[in-house]
Amino acid sequence: PTPTRAEASDVATAIYDGADAIMLSAESAAGSFPEESVAMQQRIINRVEGDTHYRSYLDQLSMSKKNNAADAITSAARQIAQTTNAKGIVCFTLEGSTVLRASQERPTVPVLAITPFKETARQLAMSWGVYPDLPRSGAFGFTADEDDFFNVSNPTVDEDDDDFDIVLKNACRAALRKGLVNDPNDLLVVTAGLPFGTPGACNIIRVLPAAGPQCWDGICRVD
| pLDDT score, position 222 | 53
Query: Is the pLDDT higher at 159 or at 220?
Result: 220
Mean of pLDDT over the chain: 81
How many CA atoms within 13 Å lie on the side-chain side of 121? Answer: 12
Q: What is the pLDDT of residues 3-36, one digit of tens each?
A: 889 889 999 999 988 889 888 877 767 778 888 8
Phi-psi region of 149 (alpha: psi -120 to 50; beta: other; left: phi over 0): alpha
One DSSP character per residue, 96-112 reads SHHHHHHHHT--SS-EE
114-135 average pLDDT score: 91
Nearest to 168 by CA among 146, 149, 191: 191
| pLDDT score, position 100 | 92
Query: Is the pLDDT higher at 8 or at 167?
Result: 8
pLDDT above 90: residue 117: no
180-185 average pLDDT score: 90
What per-residue string of b and e applies to 211-223 under the rule 16 or more CB within 10 Å gives b? bbbebeeeeeeee
Q: Which residues lie below 8 Å from residue 95, measured CB to CB, with a gap of 6+?
A: 117, 120, 152, 199
pTM over 0.85: no
Cross-strand partners of 88: 188
173-186 average pLDDT score: 90
